[in-house]
Amino acid sequence: MTCMGSFKPLNKLLVITVATKESDGFHRFMQSAKYFNYTVKVIGQGEEWRGGDGMNSIGGGQKSEINERNIMEQYHAFKNLSFPSLNSFDVIFAGGPEEILKKFLKSNHKVVFAADGILWPDKKLADKYPIVHIGKRYLNSGGFMGYAPYINRMVQLWNLQDNDDDQLFYTKIYIDPVKRVSNSLPSLSLGSFGVPGWSK
């Protein structure tokens, strides 16, 4: 586990990313984070990746398992701490922490996921998504941000395998109001709060 930057809970924002190995995309991500003075905690380094073939297949569940095992156990009690959780292989920061935190607070939601124009991996779930008139309709688990206790509640629900799909896991929480309420996750949203905070 690597932490770049000096972090104290009062800082309000800690970026987490799962990276089992250092790719070119990872280095670009970290360079942009350093430029804009983000505090980043990298978890999963040195572990064997068992979460599928990246963007070419379903998978990614190992990220949720690593998040549960590491960060959330350590920080879940900090009620005012916000976590942007980002894929580091295809994302760079394009603005500072103040911008991203301001947009998140303005959303007035406990957790906000990146929005996408493409539904993946189960297109049969399209009818369960609410209709939107502005922005994109579908959830993208490659970037989300929320208060530590609420992210902890989500990842604690993970009981699947490393090669199961994390985006499908989060999608099923998002589109199921009964599941959200029963797990004290009533306030989830999709949005572009990260722009210009981060860019793909």
pLDDT digits (tens, 9 = 90+) for 53-93: 654 555 565 776 676 566 667 888 888 888 888 888 888 99
Question: Residue 13 carries which DSSP code?
Answer: B
Q: Please enumerate in sequence order all residues whose Cβ is within 8 A of that of 13, keeping only pairs 6 or more positions apart, or say none.
A: 38, 39, 81, 82, 83, 84, 97, 100, 101
The pLDDT tens digits of the residues spanning 11-38 come to: 589 998 888 889 999 999 999 999 999 9
User: How many domains is the chain built from?
Assistant: 1
The pLDDT tens digits of the residues spanning 96-147 come to: 999 889 888 888 899 999 999 999 999 999 999 999 888 899 999 889 999 9
* Sign, CA torsion 177/16/20/116: positive
**Parent domain of 101:** 2-199
**7: domain CATH number?**
3.90.550
